[in-house]
Amino acid sequence: YNYAEALAKSMLFYEAQRSGTLPSDQRVPWRSDSGLSDGADNNIDLAGGYYDGAGYIKYNFPMAFSTTLLSWGVIRYKRTYEALGQLDYVLDTIKWTTDYFIKCHPEPDVFYGQVSDNAADSQYFGRPEDMNYQRRSYKIDFSNSGTDLAAEAAATMASAAIVFRSSNPSYAATLQQHAVELYDFATNAPRRSYKLSIQPAAQAYGGSGKYNDELAWAALWLYKLTRTRSYFNDAKLIVDRRRNGLLNLVTEFSWSDKAAGVQLLMSELSANSKYRSPINWFCLHSQPVRSNLFQTQSQYTNRGLLFINEWGPLRYAANTAFLCAMAADNGVKTDQNRVLAQNQINYMLGSTGRSFVVGFGQNPPTKIFHKSSYCPQSPSECNEFSPGTPNAYTLYGALVGGPGGTDNFMGQRMNHQQSSVTLDFNAGFQSALAALLDLHIYGEDDRPDSNGVYVQATTSDYKCPHTPTATTVAPPIPVSGLNYSGALEKSLLFYEAQRSGLLPIDNRVRWRDSSLINDGSSFGFNMSGGYYDGVTNVKFNFPMCFSMTMLAWGIIEYKDAYQSAGQYLYALDALKWGTDYIEKMIQNRTIVGQVGDPSVDIQTWDRPERLSADNRAVYTLQGNNPGTDLTAEVSAALAAASIAFKSIDYQLAIRLFNKSRHVYHNIARQTPQGLYQYSITSVFDHYPSSGFQDELAWAAAWLFKASKNKLYQNRARRHHVVSSTEFSATKNLIDRSISQAGVQLMLDDFDKQDLYPRVATFCNWMLDSGPRTADGLLHLNSAYPAKYAANAAFILMLAYEKFPRAARATEWRALGIKQINYLLGDNRKGQSFVVGFGDQPPTQPLHKGSSCPLPPAECGREFREVNSPNPNVLYGALVGGPNEMDDFSDLRTLEDQSSVSLDGNAGFQAAVA
C-alpha cells in the first residue's frame, strides 16, 4: 500500500479539524475560520486547536494525547517525514495544538480543558463557520484540579519541545516552560481526575479516573526533554509501586491508558533490565499466536484485526502497531513485531478488500459521522444527517472507527461505533505509518534509536571477508554534472504514462486517464492493469515481466540511491503496478501471455482511453501451447519482486514468492516445453525468443536469491550454458544477453567468485569486442541501440560493485558510466536520448498516447506522420537512440531511433540508480 499517501492524507484530516483563524496555506478548501469567540465567557482567547470528531467540541485531553503521539513519531522518524516532503506539514499539525495550549494555560495552576459541551453541540447542526450558540469553556485550577489532564498537557508540551528544539529553539523553550509548570500543577494540586472538575467531559472522555499513568508519562517526557534526574525518579517511584500496575501486563494503549507507552519509555530511558520485559509482554500478548505466558489472549477477527474494543477498534490496533514498531526498532522481537505492525496497518488500508481511510484505496468509507464534511457549500442549508446521502466533501485521511468483531462494516453514518472519526484515531495510525515507511525507506540495518539518531555503517565500523584493500579500490567516479536523480524520477514517470486499467488518484501524468478497465472480460479474464508496451497499446507480457524483474533488481541493489533521490516509494509503486497484473496472468496452470493483437492495434492511431475492451484478444499458454521462456520470466519477476517488497510488506512478499515457485515447478518446468512465439505467433515481429534455458536459469537464480534453497542454485547452474556468442545481442536475442549475463553475475555472487567471476566473459567482451560509435556508445543492435547499451551498462557497473577485485573491474565500471552519461546528453552533440531531460531532449517519441491531442480533439494517423513535437511530454522515456555514426534524427517516423518501450527503460533506470 502507498503508506506515504496515507500519511500525507492523515494530516489533511487534521487540517479539516482546525478551529480558529485558518492560515492562508490551509489545504482543505471547504473549511474557513470558526470558533473565533471561544473563551469569551471567561474573558480569554481560546480560539484555535482542533474539533475532536463529528461535532465542534474541543476536548483537550484526547487532543493532548493525539499530539504527543504525533510528536513521538516525529522525534523517532523525522528523517522519513523529511524524505517524503511532509515535515513542515506535521510540524504545523503539532504547533496548531501547542499554540492553542499556550492560550489554555494562562497561569501556572490554570488550564482550560474543554470548549463547548455535548448538550449545546448536539442541538446545533450546521457548519462550524456558522456556529452562533453559546460555547462554554471549562478549566481546571488548584481548587478544582485535574491531575490526568494537567499531566497529559505537560507531556504534550514536553514532547513538542523536543520536536522544535532544533528548528525553533525559542519556541521550544516556551513549550518547555509550560511543560514544567503543568507538571508542577499536576503533582502539587490535590490529586483527582479532571472529569470531576469538568463534568461534561465525563460523557465522552472521562477515562478510567486513574492518573498515575499520566503522571509517569509526563515525568518521562520531561526527563527525555531536560535530562533532569528528578523527573526520572518521579516516574520510577510511580512505576515501581506495585499497586499502580504499570509493570504488569497491559492490553491496550490509548488516550485513557498510557501504561504501555510508559513501559516503552522506561525500557528506553533506564538501563535496568527489569523495565524491558513489560513492553515485550504487551507486544507478545498482542500477537495472534497464543502465548503460554498469559492467562488471557488477545482477540483477533477472522481477517486479522487485533480487536481490543468495539468503540473505534482501529484506533487501538493502530496505537499497538506504533508502539510495537518502535519496540521492534529497539530489538524487541523485531521480526514478529514488524509483521504485527504491518498487518494491522494494512488491514486499515485495504487488505480485506476495503479501506477504512476516507479518500484512500479501494472502497473507502463515504458516509462518515462528521458534520462539517456532510454539510454542502454555503449558502445551501445543512440539514440533519440523511442515511443514504454521502458526505458532501471528502474528509481525506480520516481513519474511521472500524468493523465489528466479525469484520463486518456497515458503512452507515449513524453506526457511530464504526463510522466516527476523531483526533486520536489518526494519531497512532499516522505515527505507525511513519515507522513502517522509515523501515521501508532506510532498511533493517539503518534503524533510528529512541531519539531518532541513526548511525550508518562505514568501512571503519566493520570488515567483511571481501572488503577491498586500499590498493584494489577504484578511483572515485568522475562527477559528470548530470542530474541522475532527475533522470531516475522521470523514468518512473514514463512507467506511470504506460499504465493500463483504473488509474489511481495520485497518478502524476495528467494527460493519462483510466483505460481498458475491462481488458480480457470478453473471454472470461480480468486482465485490467499492467502496462502498455511502447508505441502500441498491446500488453506484451514477456517484456513486461522482464522489465519488472529489472526494476526489482535495481531496487534491491541500489535502494539507497532511490531513497536519496526521493524515488524509492515511486519505484515500488511502479513495480507493484506490474506485479499486481502479473498475478492476474496466472490462472492455475494457464498463463495469460498477451492482451491485444498487434495486427489490430496497428490499424488505429489513438489514445488508449478511447479503445474498447470488447473482443480484445487474450492469448494463453497451457498444455500443448507452451511458452517455457515466458512462464519462466513470470517466475523470475515474482521472485525478484518478493525480495524488493520483503521489508515493507512481508505478506505480499510471501504471496509473490509462492506464486513464483508455483509457476516455476508446475508450469515452466513441465512438458511439453517450447518457445512462446509458436503458441502466440503475433509476437514474431515484436518480441521473438531464441531459447528458454536462459529464462529457466534466470528464474531459478531469483528463486534461490529469494529463498536460499540450494535446489534452485543447482538448477540455475544446470540450465545455464556459458557462451560468449550468446552475448552478441543480435535481433533474435532481444534481452537474452542481459538475462544470460545476469544469471552469470548472480551465480558468481552466490559462489563468491571475487577474483575470477564468470561474468567477466561478458564484461571483457564488451570492453574488447563490443561495437561502439565513434563517440563511445555500445552499438549492439541497429534497432533500439540505447536499450542494449543501458542493459549492458547495468551489468558492467553491478559486476564492478560485486567483484571490485577482479581484473579490469574498474574498466567495466568506467564503460558502464560512459553509456549512461552518453544517453543523458554527455556526448559531442549534447543530444539527450531521454524525453524531457537535458538541454536537447527528443521531442517526437514514437508513442500513440503522447502524440495525440487531449480530448475533445480527435486523434488519427496524421499525428504519427506530422513533423512536430508530441503535444504531451512523455517524460523519462528512453528512445531508440543514434545510428552507428552517432547521428540522431528526432523524427517519430524513424522507428529504430524514436521507439520507446518498457524494457528499454528498465535496464536504463537500474543503471542510473
The angle formed by the CA atoms of residues 65, 443 and 162, to the nearest 5 degrees, is: 30
Give the cell for residue 615. 473482443
Res. 573: pLDDT tops 80 = yes
In this prediction, residue 1 carries a pLDDT of 86
Res. 328: pLDDT tops 80 = yes
Give 83-139 as a 3 state SS string. Answer: HCCCHHHHHHHHHHHHHHHHHHCCECCEEEEEECCHHHHCCCCCCHHHCCCCCCEEE
CB 262 within 8 A of CB 217: yes
Give the cell for residue 461. 565500523
Q: Name the pairing type of β-strands 58-59 and 618-621.
A: unpaired
Split at pLDDT 50, 70, 90, the class of 620 is: very high
Helix residue ranges, H only, 286-357: 313-329, 334-349
Of 436-450, 817-831, 888-902, which range is least confident? 436-450
Question: 522481537: which residue's cell?
Answer: 333
Looking at per-residue pLDDT, the higher value among 499 and 737 belongs to: 499
CATH class of 3-442: mainly alpha
Residues 6+ apart with CB under 8 A from 291: 284, 285, 297
CA separation for the pair 868, 843 (Å, rounded): 8
- Looking at residue 595, its amino acid is V
In this prediction, residue 737 carries a pLDDT of 57
In this prediction, residue 174 carries a pLDDT of 97
Residues 660-677 pLDDT 10s: 999 999 999 998 999 999
Please report which helix (H) or strand (E) contains residue 591, including its range.
strand 590-595
In this prediction, residue 460 carries a pLDDT of 28
- Domain(s) labelled CATH 1.50.10.10 in the chain stretch across 3-442
Q: Name the pairing type of β-strands 539-540 and 586-587.
A: unpaired
Neighbours of 860 (CB within 10 A): 11
- What's the mean pLDDT when you consider all of the chain? 90
| Local structure of residue 165 (DSSP, 8 states) | T
Give the cell for residue 883. 545510428
Residues 829-863 pLDDT 10s: 999 999 999 999 999 999 999 999 998 899 999 99
Mean pLDDT of 22-50: 96
In this prediction, residue 739 carries a pLDDT of 65
DSSP output for 424-481 = HHHHHHHHHHHHHHHHHHH-TTS---TTS------TTT---TTPPPTTTSPPPPPP--
Total count of residues recorded for the chain: 913
Split at pLDDT 50, 70, 90, the class of 684 is: confident
Residues 443-481 pLDDT 10s: 888 888 888 776 443 322 222 222 222 222 333 333 346
Res. 732: pLDDT tops 70 = no
Please report which helix (H) or strand (E) contains residue 220, including its range.
helix 212-226
CB 557 within 8 A of CB 801: yes
Split at pLDDT 50, 70, 90, the class of 291 is: low
Give 764-816 as a 3 state SS string. Answer: HHHHHCCCECCCCCECCCCCCHHHHHHHHHHHHHHHHHHCCCCCCHHHHHHHH
In this prediction, residue 466 carries a pLDDT of 26
Mean pLDDT of 293-297: 71
CA separation for the pair 644, 552 (Å, rounded): 6
Quick one: which of 565, 569, 788, 598 has its CA closest to 686?
A: 598
Residues 6+ apart with CB under 8 A from 470: none
Residues 337-347 pLDDT 10s: 999 999 999 99
3-state secondary structure of 53: coil
Whether the full predicted model's pTM is greater than 0.85, yes or no, is no
CA separation for the pair 575, 911 (Å, rounded): 16
Residues 115-165 pLDDT 10s: 999 999 999 999 999 998 999 999 999 999 999 999 999 999 999 999 999
Residues 749-794 pLDDT 10s: 888 877 878 888 889 989 999 999 999 999 988 888 999 999 999 9
CB 330 within 8 A of CB 323: no
The angle formed by the CA atoms of residues 304, 307 and 312, to the nearest 5 degrees, is: 120
Mean pLDDT of 169-177: 96
Rg of the Cα trace of the chain? 30
Of 316-320, 566-570, 737-741, 894-898, which range is least confident? 737-741
